[in-house]
Each structure stands twice: as structure tokens, then as C-alpha cells.
Structure 1
């Protein structure tokens, strides 16, 4: 049943009251801990897969019980520890809580990385590895984890999978998500991820495979969301975060640009989150100069954005993303003038784009946006209200 719950339903079911009832049933021995763990791991898995925030668990008595159990079990002698119980408790706790005590991270991270390092390719082992990496990926970017607790292990897990493909798509994406979140506290990790582990190339391969595996013919909202679609959304979010903090050269990104354009066309009208995420990723790449202007035209990005914004029905988020993309493209064309080796070809390309923008009326709009540019500083475009967005759409 949990698989079929949407975000609103998950929030209404997994409340502080429910967690309190579960804790009381465990205390009164009406519910075995092993069964409570099964339920909570499932809830945490769905919460993380669907990228949903649930705030009730951290303040509950059940959270306190689990936290104390993890610490107590960890303090036992090695031959007295129940490692399977500790793994289950760590997975439940990490996937459901939003603030992680440093003491628990120092216990849970090495333990779950040890589980995730299993190289067996049977289904049971793959599920264990997937859940361990999913739990690790739930440790948000604002949480500091010492590099010595994870870097060698997570790098080895990713590199081994690159050669042997022993991880599921979700497990592999979760490994990358966990590592990406560590950028915030250690900028040197960017070099490891980009130069040694090749996140762009790997993400492109994964997105291509996942795009082929989804039945895009079903209309939007038909049936429950597929696991593959959720993994695509997680990849898009991870890549957006990467480009937000890394200025990467254009070389090597053309294939990703083409892949995302194809993904957008496939998902448009089928999955709102994927089509919206695709536009946001392309916008991040053009903003951070990680996509060549020639690729933006040659791979069809420019046409995709214009097609989308010209549809008769748009919500404000898609509109905002499209307008931000056109804004960033216009800025790129101005910033890069005079800095190209092949100046003649660049000027011709620039003129072609600007003429198209002017023909469609968007150059006037981006000029108008430039007059209210404070909205576009520090990510403040999210504060444009519906009436302002509708005004630009009507133009």
C-alpha cells in the first residue's frame, strides 16, 4: 500500500501520532521490533525514492528509542553485537529523520558502507546494498561527514560498479547522490568526482538506459509512478546540484545535452517532474558555461525551450524555468562576444539566436527581466509571484 501513496498521503499517514502508537505497541510487546522495522524501512525507502520530506519522526519517542538502541548496540563487545539489527536500525533512522547527531553518523556511515561494499550479484545482496546506499544518500548536504569515514569506500563502490555493473540503477544513483552532498563541506571532492569518477559520462549512460526502460506512451497521471522515473528525477536533481557548484568545461558535455533533450521530449506530457527537471538542468548548464552555445542550438535545446514556452497551458514553475533559461542564454551571448577563436562562426550563431528571440518576442522580455534583475540574483527568481509570471506569459 505504501508504494501507491503520493506525497500528501504519505504525510497524512506517517505522523508523529503514528510513530507514537508504534513506540507504545513495541513497549507493550504488542508489536515485534522486527515487524516495526519492516514497516519503517518501507516508509523510509518510499520517502527517499520520491524525494519527500517528512518531519514528524525526529521529534517522536520512536526516534529516541531507535537512537538509543543504535548507541547501546554499538557499545557492546564485538562478539555480542547484532550487526543485522544495527544495519536495520541505521537504515530506518537515516531515511526517516532529518537531523543527524554526529555520534550516529560516525556509527552508521561506516556500517552501511560495509554493507554497500558487498559484491555479490544475487537479488538478495543487491537489495541489501540498494537499501544501504539509499539510507546513505538521505544524509543531506548540510550534514558534515568526515572524509576519512567514507571517501575511499564510496569511491571503490562506484569504480567497481563502473567495471562490473553489479549495482541496481537506484543503488548506483544513491552512491553518487551521497557523494555529491559532501561537496558543500569539502570542495576538493569535486576533483575526485569530475576527474576520477567521471560523473557526467556515467550520468549520461544511466539516463540513456533509464529513458529506454520507461513506457512514455502512458498519459501523465496514469498508473503509479514507476521506479525508473523516480531514479531519473534523482539523477536530474543530482546533476543540477553538481552544475550549480562546479564550472565545468563544455568539452564532454555535448552528449549529456543531447540526452537531456531526448529525455525532455519523451517525458513531456507524461511526467511533469522529469520535463521540468530537464529544463532546469539545461538552464544550470548554460548558466555555469558548462554547455557550448553551439550545442544549445545544434542539439535542439533552444527549440525545445521555445516549443515548451509557446504551449497554451503552462504552470508558473515551467514558465519561470524557461524564462530563466532564455535570460541566461541572452547573457551568455553578450558575455562571450569577442572571446571566441572562431569569431565569425560565433557571431553568425549569436545573430541567429538573437534574431529568433527577437522574432518570437523573447529578447524584449529578457530585456525587461534585466530591468528587474534583482529577482534573478541569489536564486531569487523563485519569488516571482503568479501575477508577474502570467504577465510575461501574456506578453
Structure 2
């Protein structure tokens, strides 16, 4: 009989008290596999307040060294980030209070601070908690950023940099920290462009830190879009990660535990929703990004519903961007993709609604005159091109056939849809 991840982890944990320090290290490293195998429900059933308090008791009884506790909890924190979980109730444990005291005490030392200990404590504290005390964050950030900025070429250094960036992942929403550390994260991303020194997950975490700043400060758009080439890099990551997804499976229910690549691909797509809602700047590189999203959409159709739905949603949100370049949507295949969906015989109300909203926004944007003769000429030419394309596809007939659905949706208080069919059309 196969042992579950939960059972195997508990077996290994129970062995810790009977091992010497080196044996504990080996046992902790063996815990990686069962933690990787656990789903979110199993993970939370194992890492409870009681378990964290038991670990503290083992420290006090000298049955587990602080060095090995930190080794274990850094691995737990890594899987929390990887599996996008931040509700293990660590903050309610006595062990968390001990860590807070240790961080404050070590940071107060004027000389001979143990920076490695501080980094380890801070990584555990941030990766395992949901909320943080401001004074603790102020103490932790300089040490974590110092590690994240390391450039030595060694496997050990890469692991240290990766863990520091994983820990910093959600710090972008802290306004104070953003203002202080935006340039450092920018430097890390630029260095990766030249040397490809980060793991995929660490690279994603660095980007997340920057993108989250858009929530507070749209002035960073220029850096993110044009200096750091967000669209180009995101397209590259989506293309690479999608190669690791099994798109050939026959049925949705055949899905097994998600791979790391699948989890990370979905994280990129989720962050694109936030990006398109927050950023009003596009450049020509976005055509390749749209194309990569459309490729995932088509690969996932009828076989991987969550990816398919997320791609539809990303493109639906993208059309709402105030300064979107419609030619990027056209070149990237987004308009073709939505045309295919409204032609489908299989009626999915959610997809149909998003498709209608997409074309409603497309039509509205093409009606608005642009500044300058050159840009205005481009807009008119694009309208003609889209008009011919939609006419060849019998688009207007399909839209008219959906009037009953539109009327029904309006009756259900869907105010965004228009009952005027001409609003959905692109007219020259």
C-alpha cells in the first residue's frame, strides 16, 4: 500500500527525537518529497498550531537544535509560497513569538550580529505568517534584500537568493517597502536578463514585487513596460512553462496533483489580470504576450478548464485597458480566439458573456478618435481591416442570433451588456 504524503511526513517527524543532529538534517531533507505530495488540505492538517508548539517544546528540551528547526521551517515556508498558502496559523503559535523575540534581540546587537541567523529567522517569520508587525518587517527587509542582491556564481548562493526572493514575494503590497526597495528588485531582474541566474519561481517572485507596486504608484509603468520588458519576459515564461503541462489528457477528471510548472503558469496568468487592470501602457512587445496567452487558451480548451477560463478572463480584462493597442490583440490572435468562441455550438453562458463584452469594448475603442494625423490614419485602417475580417466570419449574424441571451442577461441585472446590437459591431 502506498503511504500518503501526510503519513510519510508524520513518520519522519516522529523520528527526529531519536536522531543526532546530522541524522535530523538527513531526515528533514527527506521531508521534501511528502510535503511536495501534499495538497493544501493535507498541508494544513499537518502544520497546525499544536505542531509548531511541539517544535518549540523540542527546542526547549534540547531534542531539536535551532539550526535544524530553521532548516525545517524554511522548507515549510518554501512550500507555502509554492502552493500559494499563507494560513497555517503559525502566527498564533508560541514558536512564532519566540522567533519575534529572537529577531528583535539579534537586531539590537551593535556588533557581531549573526546575519545568517537573522536571515533564516526572517525567512521563516515572513513565509509562514499572514500578517506582520511593521517593526519586524523594517528589521527583516535589509537582511533579506542583501541576500537577494548576491551575485556570486555558486549553487549555494543561488539557493540563498531564491529563498530570499520567495520570502519577499508579497512585500510589494507594503507601500513603505516598495518605495525603499523598488530599485533593488529592478537591479535583480536586469541581472537575471543577462545571466539567467534565478529559478523560475524566484524570478516570478521578483516580478510580483514590482507589479504589485502598480496598485499604489502608476509612475513605475515606464520602467516595468519599456525598461524591464515585462511583456517580452512574461511571454517567454508562459511559453516555457506551458511546455510542462500535459495538454493531451482526455478528460478534466483525469487531472492529478498540479506540477510546480502548472502552479507557476497559473500564477503568471493571475498576475496578468492585475497588471492589465493597473497598467495603462502597452508597447509592440505585447503582441507576443497576447499570442502566448492565446496558445495556452487553445491548448487548454475542452481539456484543462481552469487554464482555459483564466486565459479567456485575462484577454477579457485586457481589452478594458484604457490605452490598449488593438493591433497587438489582432496580431496576437485574441480577436480570432473570441470569434471562435461565439461561433461554438456548445453554449457556455460565462464565455459568451465575456466574448460579447470583449467585442463591445473593441467597438467602443475603435470609435474614439486619436491625436495626430498618423495615429488617426492607423485607427481608420485598423477599423477597415477588422470590419473585413468580421464580415468574412459572419460575425454580425452571430451577434444577432445571441440577442435572446443578451436580453436574458439584462433581465438578470447584467448592466454592462448593451441591448443595442449595433454597439457590438465594428463599422467603417
Would you call these one fold, judging by a TM-score over 0.5?
Answer: yes
Instruction: Look at both structures and tell me which one has the larger radius of gyration over its CA atoms.
Output: 2
Shift of 1:222: 4.7
Contact preservation (8 Å) 2:238, 2:265? yes
Aligned length: 370
Question: Which residue in the other structure is 1:20 paired with?
Answer: 53
Q: Quick one: distance in 2 between partners of 1:374 and 1:223?
A: 36
Contact preservation (8 Å) 1:95, 1:138? no
TM-score when scaled to structure 2? 0.76
Shift of 1:148: 4.8
Which deviates more from structure 2 when the two are superposed, residues 93-102 or residues 29-38? 29-38
Question: Which residue in the other structure is 2:384 paired with?
Answer: 344
SS at match of 2:266: helix
Residues 154 and 313 of structure 1, relative CA distance in 2, 3 Å threshold? same
Residues 365 and 253 of structure 1, relative CA distance in 2, 3 Å threshold? farther
Contact preservation (8 Å) 2:218, 2:278? no
Question: Which residue in the other structure is 1:210 paired with?
Answer: 241
Q: Quick one: distance in 2 between partners of 1:247 and 1:147?
A: 20
Residues 121-145 of structure 1, C-alpha deviations (whole Å, 9 max, x = no match):
432222211111011003362x333
Q: Quick one: distance in 2 between partners of 1:306 and 1:347?
A: 13
Shift of 1:70: 1.2
Q: Quick one: distance in 2 between partners of 1:176 and 1:3?
A: 24
Question: Of residues 321, 330, 335 in structure 1, which corresponds to 2:360?
Answer: 330
Question: Which residue in the other structure is 1:258 paired with?
Answer: 291
Question: Which residue in the other structure is 2:150 paired with?
Answer: 118
Q: Quick one: distance in 1 between partners of 2:341 and 2:153?
A: 42
Question: Of residues 138, 142, 147 in structure 2, which corresponds to 1:106?
Answer: 138
1:161-176 to 2 correspondence within 5 Å?
161-176=192-207
1:103-252 to 2 correspondence within 5 Å?
103-139=135-171, 141=173, 143-217=174-248, 221-249=254-282, 251-252=284-285
Shift of 1:159: 0.7
SS at match of 2:380: coil
Contact preservation (8 Å) 2:214, 2:279? no
Q: Quick one: distance in 2 between partners of 1:22 and 1:252?
A: 50
Question: Which residue in the other structure is 1:274 paired with?
Answer: 307
Which deviates more from structure 2 when the two are superposed, residues 319-328 or residues 99-108? 319-328
SS at match of 1:145: helix
SS at match of 1:94: helix
Contact preservation (8 Å) 1:20, 1:62? yes
Q: Quick one: distance in 2 between partners of 1:47 and 1:296?
A: 35
SS at match of 2:118: helix
Residues 336 and 93 of structure 1, relative CA distance in 2, 3 Å threshold? same
SS at match of 1:209: helix
Instruction: Work out whether 1:355 is the aligned partner of 2:396.
Output: yes
Shift of 1:173: 1.0
Q: Quick one: distance in 2 between partners of 1:366 and 1:312?
A: 17
Shift of 1:171: 1.3
RMSD: 3.0
Question: Which residue in the other structure is 1:71 paired with?
Answer: 104
Please list every run of 5 or more consecutive structure 1 residues that lacks an aligned counterpart in the other structure: 378-395
Question: Which residue in the other structure is 1:57 paired with?
Answer: 90
Shift of 1:313: 9.7
Which deviates more from structure 2 when the two are superposed, residues 19-28 or residues 213-222? 213-222
Contact preservation (8 Å) 2:86, 2:129? no
SS at match of 2:130: coil
Shift of 1:267: 3.7
Please list every run of 5 or more consecutive structure 2 residues that lacks an aligned counterpart in the other structure: 1-33, 370-378, 418-428
Shift of 1:229: 1.6
